[in-house]
Amino acid sequence: MRLAKPAGFRDTVRFTINYHGRITQGRGLYFFPAEPGRPRHHQQVYSGGGTDGNPNWIPTYGAPNDKATWDLIARVPAGLTVVSNGRLVSDKVDPPARRSRASPPAGSRTHTVHWRQERPASTYLISLAAAPFKKVSDRWRDVPLDYYVYPEDVARARRLFGVTPDMMETFTRLTGVKYPWDGYSQTTVTDFIGGMENVGATTLVDWLPDAQAYRDRPWYRHSLIPHELAHQWFGNLVTAENWSNYWLNEGMAEFMAGQYWGFRNGPHAEDDFYLDEYRRFLASDSRRRVPLASFNSNNVYTKGALVMRMLKQHLGPEPFWASINRYLTRHSFGNANSDDLRRAVLHATGQNLDWFWDQWVYNAGYPELAVSPEYDSVAATLTLTVRQTQLDVAPADSAGPRFSTPSVFQGRILVRVGTSSGEVRKQVRLDRREQVIRVEGLRSEPNMVVFDENNAMLKVLTFEQPTRWLAHQLSRDSNLWNRSWVIDQLARRSGDTLAASALSRAARSADYYLTRAQAVAALRGFPAGIALPAVEASLRDSSAAVRETAVTTLGLLGGARAQAAVREAWKRDSSYEVRASALTALARLDSVASRPQVLAALSTPSYRDVIQTAAIGAAARAPDSTLIDGLEKIIGEQKLPSLVLATLASRGDTQALAALVRHRDDSRSWVRRWVLDAIEEQLQGKDLE
């Protein structure tokens, strides 16, 4: 580009870029033809591809600090609704089109829709979605909320997205920053990668739960909706200045979702949310260890949320939210990096948390603590020797940088010691590779030692304890994470009747479903005679997650009694997930006797086809001619039957092969596609697990 005259430093130069192009399907824009006869596959187009899709169809460079305002004008067929960012400026029916190369077929009507984003936002958040949507209108304070869904999903949309006003109110109160955009739309489209927080106009996958699916706590409402909404503050109002600080978008959004449930349903619900993050973080860290703030970090969601949780515990809620408010207001409509968040804390609280940022944000890993106890009855003192055993063994990765795990992590924790004559708590600062903690003033021998009572430190704990301490803790510790740790310890003591009775009691009567479910799962390693009563009783639990665990555990325990109980659950349970797991358990217990149930399950509708999918799995593991017939009947409902048939055919099953050949020329385009894909994958040696 040549300028008419040379531009000087600080000059402003305005450009108009005229461009046109052909979009490659799936590069920034996704086009779907209508597939009549296939549920939820209407004609549509949407932008997608996460944070790097837009430069493929708009002249932007797509980096997070590329902030702009924009107008989006789209001309589409008359039956399609266009959703984009900001506010709707106009929607006009076009004059009938004359036939030309650039216009739609003569005679078909189009309309032109104009949306305008008036406050600056990052260009990776520009979005377009067009489909035969119905709009469901809602409101929070003066902010219009719109849910754009297919006509058949209108009833489901009201229930699903009806949580939005309460979430908006909660996030506004917690952060002290009102929802910052003109309106908020949530639009569901087909075959989408979960959700994308386009500014003021989130795009989501079209898996709207039916009424029965709410028994299983759908991920959609639990995680997806609050996560994408939280991005409207964290990511959209204040954006990570580059992708190495991506955790400021993703970790904060994930953290806020947990805060919503904590605010709404109390501390157990909050711990429940982050315990899941903790497990996923440990799994990803074991595959590849990188710091939170690094390019392509694999833990921006999980560790990001956990680090924010720790920060909130360290500061206390009020100073924490004051810091968050400072961060959001200081960088509104702009960008921030990890140190900007630290400075916001410094400004709001006076605390310089260099050490916290160093160990949790810029370095990798977590502390691995090994604790050993010694009780001195004469001195009435419990001595805990605490060693940090984490090793810094990460090799340089292929990109070159070598990340280090601190040899010493610092933090404040609370030790709680129970005795038959009262409890003693002691606050301790961990700051050495090895240190000794003395808890004095015990009036009798300890019967419970809780190390890090509030789980203030992200860690892995090794602490060998007598079973009676653990049993005590399981019934008296209100912290969900600690209970979960205790259950893991007890699960390994399958020869210990005290462990079995502690787990059985927790399975029946713990005050939160997750503890009950974990206790039921832990009983699977115990002798059936000891485990069965509690596991069977759990089939009547009010929580579907507990019943689901009970059914799976019964399948592993085995025996006629377990089998009868599982068959009953398959017949009568009201939860899709429980029935799906019951079917899998039945098929594992007796693949021949369970054939009628598997056949029935192949055509049993359920949310996200969990029951059908369980049946397909069972049929794949023990196929016979009736089940292969059953698979062929549902070949148009999802891709999995084609994959199973192709696998069976490649192993020499002629009936499966004949079925595939028949559907190679199926009248339904998507079935032909699935069959060809399945054959191709088989030829490439991708056997179905």
Give the per-residue contact string, 18-47, with Zn ion (x = CB under 5 A; - = no): ------------------------------
Chain mean position to CA 22 = 35
At position 281, the amino acid (one-letter code) is F
Cα–Cα–Cα angle for 121, 51, 177, rounded to 5 degrees: 40
Q: How far is the CB of 45 from Zn ion (least distance, A)?
A: 23
User: Could you count the other beta carbons within 10 Å of the beta carbon of residue 76?
Assistant: 20
Q: How far is the CB of 253 from Zn ion (least distance, A)?
A: 5
Cβ atoms of 161 and 186 within 8 Å: the answer is yes
Q: How far is the CB of 40 from Zn ion (least distance, A)?
A: 23
Looking at beta carbons only, is 253 or 364 nearer to Zn ion? 253
Looking at beta carbons only, is 168 or 253 nearer to Zn ion? 253
Q: How far is the CB of 294 from Zn ion (least distance, A)?
A: 18
Residues with Cβ < 8 Å from 414, sequence gap 6 or more? 425, 426, 427, 428, 452, 453, 454, 456
User: Could you count the other beta carbons within 10 Å of the beta carbon of residue 271?
Assistant: 26
Tokens of 396: 């340089």
Side-by-side strand order, sheet with 460-462: 434-439, 381-388, 368-376, 460-462
- Binders in 114-143 for Zn ion, by CB under 5 A: none
Cβ atoms of 627 and 619 within 8 Å: the answer is yes
Cα–Cα–Cα angle for 149, 151, 155, rounded to 5 degrees: 80
Residues with Cβ < 8 Å from 112, sequence gap 6 or more? 73, 74, 75, 90, 91, 92, 94
Side-by-side strand order, sheet with 110-122: 67-77, 110-122, 87-93
Please tell me the count of residues contacting Zn ion according to CB under 5 A: 2
User: What does the alpha-carbon distance between residue 261 and residue 255 come to, in Å, rounded to a whole number?
Assistant: 10
Q: How far is the CB of 139 from Zn ion (least distance, A)?
A: 25
Give the per-residue contact string, 398-417, with Zn ion (x = CB under 5 A; - = no): --------------------
Q: How far is the CB of 323 from Zn ion (least distance, A)?
A: 21
Residues with Cβ < 8 Å from 534, sequence gap 6 or more? 503, 504, 505, 507, 508, 519, 520, 523
Backbone phi and psi for residue 263, each to the nearest 5 degrees, phi listed first: -65, -40
Looking at beta carbons only, is 305 or 457 nearer to Zn ion? 305
Looking at beta carbons only, is 188 or 597 nearer to Zn ion? 188
Chain mean position to CA 127 = 22
Strand 134-140 to 143-149 pairing:
antiparallel
Q: How far is the CB of 194 from Zn ion (least distance, A)?
A: 8
Strands (E), 568-664: none
Looking at beta carbons only, is 201 or 253 nearer to Zn ion? 253
Dihedral sign, CA of 23, 25, 28, 32? positive
User: What does the alpha-carbon distance between residue 94 and residue 74 come to, in Å, rounded to a whole number?
Assistant: 12
Residues with Cβ < 8 Å from 397, sequence gap 6 or more? 288, 290
DSSP assigned state of 523: G
Looking at beta carbons only, is 335 or 549 nearer to Zn ion? 335
Looking at beta carbons only, is 281 or 451 nearer to Zn ion? 281
Q: How far is the CB of 526 from Zn ion (least distance, A)?
A: 41
Q: How far is the CB of 255 from Zn ion (least distance, A)?
A: 11
Looking at beta carbons only, is 240 or 503 nearer to Zn ion? 240
Q: How far is the CB of 301 from Zn ion (least distance, A)?
A: 7
Strands (E), 403-545: 411-419, 422-430, 434-439, 446-451, 460-462
Looking at beta carbons only, is 250 or 548 nearer to Zn ion? 250
Looking at beta carbons only, is 227 or 567 nearer to Zn ion? 227
Q: How far is the CB of 235 from Zn ion (least distance, A)?
A: 7
Q: How far is the CB of 334 from Zn ion (least distance, A)?
A: 19
Backbone phi and psi for residue 212, each to the nearest 5 degrees, phi listed first: -70, -30
- Binders in 212-271 for Zn ion, by CB under 5 A: 250, 253
Q: How far is the CB of 250 from Zn ion (least distance, A)?
A: 5
Give the per-residue contact string, 640-659, with Zn ion (x = CB under 5 A; - = no): --------------------
Looking at beta carbons only, is 253 or 344 nearer to Zn ion? 253
Tokens of 53: 């899709």
Tokens of 103: 């216009």
DSSP assigned state of 592: T
Looking at beta carbons only, is 253 or 631 nearer to Zn ion? 253
Looking at beta carbons only, is 237 or 253 nearer to Zn ion? 253
At position 7, the amino acid (one-letter code) is A
Looking at beta carbons only, is 308 or 620 nearer to Zn ion? 308
Could you tell me the CA-to-CA distances from 484 to 239, 443, 540, 543 in Å, in that order? 35, 29, 22, 18
* DSSP, residue by residue, 89-117: EEEEEPPPPPP-TTSPSTT--EEEEEEEE
Looking at beta carbons only, is 117 or 249 nearer to Zn ion? 249
Q: How far is the CB of 439 from Zn ion (least distance, A)?
A: 43
Looking at beta carbons only, is 153 or 250 nearer to Zn ion? 250
- Binders in 375-394 for Zn ion, by CB under 5 A: none
Looking at beta carbons only, is 124 or 469 nearer to Zn ion? 124
Residues with Cβ < 8 Å from 202, sequence gap 6 or more? 184, 185, 186, 187, 195, 196, 228, 229, 231
Tokens of 130: 């067009």
Q: How far is the CB of 236 from Zn ion (least distance, A)?
A: 10
* Sites of contact with Zn ion (CB under 5 A): 250, 253
